[in-house]
């Protein structure tokens, strides 16, 4: 994925969050949603990142300055749709002509490294498929460079999402189904509404083709906004292929518009992290009240008891018993320690 770039849309106001900060800064397991997205992008090998800010942009810009790497920003002064947001990043795109660009939402924290890489293989396959990268359960196999690859996901409750409609029903490794359209809920027929494969809001584009499509993008006559999904038809009409990569994990499309949905994201992320530690040999006999941050390191054979919160870049050694009722923040705990009913911050123990 050398020379690729990414644009993260982060202009959402998030009124239903009832917060004085932009929605992308709402936290999922102690980390802003946009940081989850940035981390996935960087772990996938993409270093050149541009964030499109909007409402209360100063909060996002201030947060991005705290990161240990550089992220460019551009400002969308008016909320005129996703297509308009990407137009604000045209100078960034011009610097990356001749390559591919990933565009995704800053409030969809579960877009994963595997999904980003697999979709890139579909977008720009030039040689042997790497079985360590490509998800062989996908029904679509790449054969040529695309103008665009949409990242989709299959969900049980597709209401409100744009549906993925293909040119043909034939889907196998050697007979590909190209994308016909992304049909929004309000435009869909009853038959199309039955489709459960939906648009995640993340896309790979060939940068030059995207720039050409942005120049042809028209305002919606209904809303007065520019929609990025309208570039699909423009790209197809220009003779370039448009494909979809269906993510293995349906969580890829999940975001949060209010605090109830944010709590649901937190629970999904919390259990993912706990299961990862348990697979690595950490004993968590009861997960009630146990919250462990994404950057925490715990050695095997340690037991974590209920009502334990571990955050920051904390490191826990082997054969420890942590909990119940413990808060650990940015601490280093040596092997064999027993800690309960205490709050620790910036401590080295053992």
Please name each of the domains of the chain with its CATH number.
5-253 (3.90.550.10), 280-349 (2.160.10.10)
3-state helix, strand, coil in the chain (%, to 5): 30, 25, 45
Quick one: what percent of the chain has pLDDT higher than 70?
A: 91
Q: What is the pLDDT of residue 139?
A: 40
262-286: burial string, b at 16+ Cβ within 10 Å, e else: beebbebbbeebbeebeeeebebee
Instruction: State the Cα–Cα distance between residues 239 and 55, nearest whole angstrom.
Output: 37
Q: What is the pLDDT of residue 172?
A: 42
Q: What is the pLDDT of residue 1?
A: 65
**138 half-sphere exposure, CB direction, 13 A CA radius:** 28
**135 pLDDT above the threshold of 60:** no
Q: pLDDT band for 241, please (50, 70, 90 cuts).
A: confident
In Å, how far are 120, 135, 178, 326, 340 from 142, measured between CA atoms? 10, 12, 11, 50, 54
The pTM is what? Answer: 0.88
The SS3 call for residue 153 is strand
> DSSP letters of 260-286?
HHHHHHHHHHHHHHHHHHHHTT-B-S-
Summarised one tens digit per residue, pLDDT across range 244-290 is 888 888 888 898 889 999 999 999 999 999 999 999 999 999 999 99
**130 pLDDT above the threshold of 60:** no
């Amino acid at each position: 994925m050398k020379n690729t770039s990414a644009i993260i849309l982060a202009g959402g106001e998030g009124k239903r969050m009832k917060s004085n900060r932009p929605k992308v800064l709402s936290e999922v397991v102690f980390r802003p949603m946009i940081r989850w997205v940035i981390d996935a992008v960087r772990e996938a090998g993409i270093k050149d990142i541009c964030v499109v800010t909007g409402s209360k942009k100063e909060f996002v810009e201030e947060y991005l300055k705290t990161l240990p790497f550089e992220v460019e920003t551009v400002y969308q002064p008016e909320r005129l749709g996703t297509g308009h947001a990407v137009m604000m990043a045209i100078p960034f795109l011009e610097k990356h002509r001749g390559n591919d660009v990933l565009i995704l939402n800053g409030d969809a924290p579960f877009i994963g490294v595997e999904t980003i890489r697999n979709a890139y293989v579909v977008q720009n396959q030039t040689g042997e498929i790497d079985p360590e990268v490509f998800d062989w359960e996908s029904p679509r196999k790449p054969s040529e460079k695309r103008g665009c690859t949409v990242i989709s996901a299959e969900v049980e409750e597709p209401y409100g999402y744009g549906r993925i409609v293909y040119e043909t029903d034939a889907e196998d490794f050697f007979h590909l189904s190209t994308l016909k359209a992304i049909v929004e809920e309000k435009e869909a027929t009853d038959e199309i509404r039955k489709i459960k494969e939906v648009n995640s809001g993340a896309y790979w584009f060939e940068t030059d083709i995207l720039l050409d499509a942005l120049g042809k993008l028209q305002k919606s006559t209904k809303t007065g906004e520019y929609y990025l999904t309208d570039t699909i038809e423009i790209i197809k009409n220009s003779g370039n292929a448009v494909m979809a990569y269906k993510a293995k994990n349906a969580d890829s499309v999940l975001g949060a518009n209010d605090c109830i949905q944010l709590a649901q994201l937190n629970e999904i992320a919390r259990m993912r992290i706990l299961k990862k530690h348990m697979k690595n040999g950490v004993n968590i006999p009861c997960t009630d009240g146990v919250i462990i941050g994404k950057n925490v390191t715990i050695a095997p054979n340690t037991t974590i008891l209920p009502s334990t919160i571990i955050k920051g870049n904390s490191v826990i050694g082997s054969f420890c018993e942590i909990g119940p009722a413990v808060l650990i923040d940015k601490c280093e705990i040596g092997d064999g320690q027993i800690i309960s009913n205490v709050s620790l911050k910036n401590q080295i123990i053992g």
